[in-house]
Copies of this chain bind each other. A is one copy, B any other.
Amino acid sequence: MTLTPDQENLYLIAPELPEILVRRYRLLRKIYYSAPLGRRSLAAYFQVGERVLRREIEILRDQGLIAVESRGITLTSAGESLVTSITPSLKSFLGLTLLEEKLVKLLKVKDVTVVPGDLESDEVVLLEMGRAATRILRECLKPGIVLAVSGGTSCAAVADMLPEAPAPSGITVVPARGGLGEVVDYQANTIAARVAQKLRTNYRLLHLPDSLSQEALQMLLREKKIKEILDLINSASILIHGIGTAEEMARRRGAAPEEMERLREQGAVGEVFGFFYNSRGEIVEHIPSLGLYLEDLGNRVENVIVVAGGRRKAKAIVAVVGNHPRDFLVLDEGAAKRILELYSRKGDTPLF
């Protein structure tokens, strides 16, 4: 807060600064997450010529932030500590801290973390979001609790970035939803197991498809094992989940064309656990699913950590996460700025 005027000054007197700063930061961050890797890979990643990238590399090398060896480019310890320690000041420099404060007020959530960059143009942003989420997660962990994690790339990133370190004892990790789609790495089951492994604790799996009719569900509830795990999920005190855009999720669930059309008509923009929300945050549709049994999970669980990024998810985030005073929201700069755009277009009037 006290920094802002100074930074505006630097901004004014050296307008080329933000660009340089962001460029170098992104470079270091990419190396941080993908080291060791070479010039050409980096150049391809950032879609710049190899020569121009090389110049940046040489500067960073001369600064002692990276080490270039025959196996590739790596961060030095100085570079590593920089890339982690500069994040707060860079965030405030880029106005993201201010953005966070605005979003907390606007969305009426507990806490907002905005990560620099845009998921859609820089993949490591996803990892950065994951890392931010793990910090929140660690804060919430208490002995004996149940931690429910959902599926999707965002949650997978959280699992990826979770440091391997013992958690408070007696924690159980469970999937927050059934099987959905095909990619095993993004299944809630898989992610729950990986999270548990990182935390050195136990986990339970849910061997059911996420889409399920009420009848089938009622029948399965008679199975003791299944009832047990579902009740365990219902008793979770931490829930981590991502957010899907309505369209994408409907397609992934294999919805029929007429269903898609109905969703569009109803203004559905976001999806979580089979519930579709319109931009006012109202549920307009739900697909028969486990979500029904786990209904209102997001409103009962003590700590909800929502991880979602990318400009195109802005509307979905607003729809799903707005007015949830217990939610921690982790998103990226792209989505955050887009959300503010949406609000300013509507004359700053809350959507709910």
Partner-B contacts on A (CB < 8 A): 3, 5-6, 9-10, 12-17, 20-21, 24-25, 28, 59, 62-65, 78, 82, 85-86, 89
A59 to B89, CA, bound (A): 25
Per a CB cutoff under 8 Å, which of B3, B16, B24, B62 touches A13?
A: B24
CB of A85 within 8 A of CB of B24, answer no
A65 neighbours in B (Cβ, 8 Å): 12-13
A-B residue pairs in contact (CB < 8 Å), sample of 12 = A3-B6, A9-B86, A10-B21, A12-B64, A12-B65, A13-B20, A13-B24, A13-B28, A13-B63, A13-B82, A15-B59, A17-B17
4 A-B pairs closest in CB distance: A6-B89, A9-B86, A13-B24, A14-B20
A9 neighbours in B (Cβ, 8 Å): 82, 85-86, 89
A145 to B3, CA, bound (A): 40
Q: Least Cβ distance of A7 to chain B in Å?
A: 9
A20 to B24, CA, bound (A): 17
A59 to B21, CA, bound (A): 18
Q: Least Cβ distance of A243 to chain B in Å?
A: 32
User: Most B CB atoms within 10 A — which of A10, A21, A24, A65?
Assistant: A10
A250 to B63, CA, bound (A): 48
A13 neighbours in B (Cβ, 8 Å): 20-21, 24-25, 28, 63, 65, 82, 86
CB of A63 within 8 A of CB of B12, answer yes
Q: Which single residue of chain B is at the shortest CB-CB distance from A16?
A: B20
User: Most B CB atoms within 10 A — which of A62, A64, A82?
Assistant: A82
Extra inter-chain contacts (16) besides given A12-B65, A13-B65, CB under 8 Å: A3-B3, A3-B6, A5-B85, A9-B89, A10-B21, A10-B89, A12-B64, A13-B20, A13-B21, A13-B24, A13-B28, A13-B86, A14-B21, A14-B24, A17-B17, A17-B20
